[in-house]
Amino acid sequence: MEIWRPNWDELRSEALHACRLAAPELADLPIYVVFNHELPSSVFGAGFDGLCGFTGPHVDLAISAHLANGWLGRGPAAILYGERILRNLVDPAREAVSAIQEVAIHEICHVLSDQYDFADIESSSETIQEATNHIATCIAMPADLIRSRQRLHEPRRFVRCVIHAIRRLYMAGIDLCFPSVSGLAPDVGWRRLCKLESALGDEPERLAGLTFADILKHRTPEEYDRLCDDFDCVMKSELEPKAEGIANES
């Protein structure tokens, strides 16, 4: 039987296609999807255990010198840890595209929920080095701090963007797993995530023609707000650092 091997260029293409469908407001910007094995391991490495993707407002600067197709200017960028994403798939040949798309959409939802400004600084040797140093620090985060990163996936903005993105993709014929795109660990709140999606109702369909910036200005249903409050309380208690000294990390 022939051994399946990932075609990283095809997987990248599928990820970019999903990102474009989910966020047409980014049409005027280049979007970069890069796998960590395509980057210098001395800087980007394997990251902490469990890291499947990474983005930030200046990731595009850090990877600008390592892009196979060249630098096209500032825009959203996601580093995907491809081998780690595919490692635990039951049927990689069938599941790989969706798995890579889920991580890519997760990262794009950070861009959308935090409204990254890609005109805040220009590309220069200084800004590229600063961005690279920051990324290297983040992906080398100690394992006992990983769970605290779940706080980045709060429901009022990030999870709301995820719901809108996966609904848009579903309407376009791409069916992704909501909990997987959310990036939240199962014990943190997959059941709560489903309740949040239900409480948001038909908002993704009604507001499908708006940008994410405008969507986030709209008030959410009262039940969604209530569930967000509950979610905040649960995450605070479940993610409370256990190791001595962790709470004082800056």
What does the pLDDT look like over 91-107, one tens digit per residue? 999 999 999 999 999 99
Rg (CA), the chain: 18
Flag whether pLDDT at 83 surpasses 80. yes
Length of the chain: 250
Residues 41 and 99 occupy one common structural domain: yes
Residues 27 and 126 occupy one common structural domain: yes
Residue 94 lies in a domain: yes
Flag whether pLDDT at 42 surpasses 80. no
Count of the separate structural domains present in the chain: 2
What does the pLDDT look like over 158-215, one tens digit per residue? 999 999 999 999 999 999 999 899 887 665 567 888 899 999 999 999 999 999 999 9
Residue 53 belongs to domain with CATH number: 3.30.2010.20
Instruction: Note down the domain range covering 218.
Output: 148-240
What does the pLDDT look like over 44-56, one tens digit per residue? 777 777 789 999 9
Whole-model pTM: value is 0.89
pLDDT band at 247 (very low <50, low <70, confident <90, very high): very low
Domain stops at, among 146, 166, 190: 146
Residue 30 lies in a domain: yes
Domain stops at, among 146, 172, 195: 146
